Amino acid sequence: MRVVILGSGRGSNAEAVLRSQADGKLGAAKVAALFSDRPGAGMLKLGPAFGVDAVFLDPGAFKTKLAGEAEQTYIREIGARQPDLIVLAGFMRVIKPAFIEAFSGKIINLHPSLLPAFRGLAAIRQAYDFGAKYTGCTVHYVTPDVDAGPIIDQAAVRIGEGETLEQVEANVHEAEHRLLPAVIARLSRA
């Protein structure tokens, strides 16, 4: 199963997937490429370290979505890798219907909450500010409705009495680093 990972930041989840692959724990999945919408994204440095292509693609004029020619460039460049699975791991842009249709049923997202609770941006902060006793992370299929696709799996994280937001964020990220590679491995065997 050929996997393409899209991200916008430091790439800790992409690194967790690549480390699982290097350790032989990613099932029949193999990461074919990393793509980022930010030229200085840390995840782009992972490519050479793991022998995987890492590519910056200009996201166009919009700050929160891919649209127009930029969206078509993403579809063309990702499609050229012939992905069986596209993983959104910290990709901070809304994916529009044209992209979803181009890769129908092949796009999953890692979201830092127990969906359907706390959709959208700053999900960990949302849970923390709400006073939730549990939060976590969810891997789900991507649909046109943001963070509303069918859930594949989740990992719960307890918010301990007196924990800071930073501690909760670290705990959720640790859960993400376990959950995402496990889901990819499982999907590769399906």
Give the residue extent of every domain in the chain: 2-189
Average pLDDT over residues 108-129: 97
pLDDT, position 79: 97
pLDDT, position 67: 82
pLDDT, position 54: 97
Mean pLDDT of the chain: 96
pLDDT, position 66: 86
Residues across the chain:
190
Write out pLDDT tens, residues 152-179.
Answer: 999 999 999 999 999 999 999 999 999 9
pLDDT, position 100: 96
* Residues contacting 142, CB < 8 A, separation 6+: 88, 95, 100, 107, 108, 109, 149
Is residue 183 scored above 90 in pLDDT? yes
pLDDT-derived band of residue 63, with 50, 70 and 90 as boundaries? Answer: confident
In the block, which residue shows the tokens 């990393």? 34
pLDDT-derived band of residue 61, with 50, 70 and 90 as boundaries? Answer: confident
Write out pLDDT tens, residues 73-117.
Answer: 999 999 999 999 999 999 999 899 999 999 999 999 999 999 999
Active-site annotation, residues: 111
pLDDT, position 56: 97
pLDDT, position 151: 98
CATH of domain 2-189: 3.40.50.170
Q: Which residues of 91-110 are buried (b: 16+ CB within 10 A; e: fewer)?
A: bebebeeebbebbeebbbbb
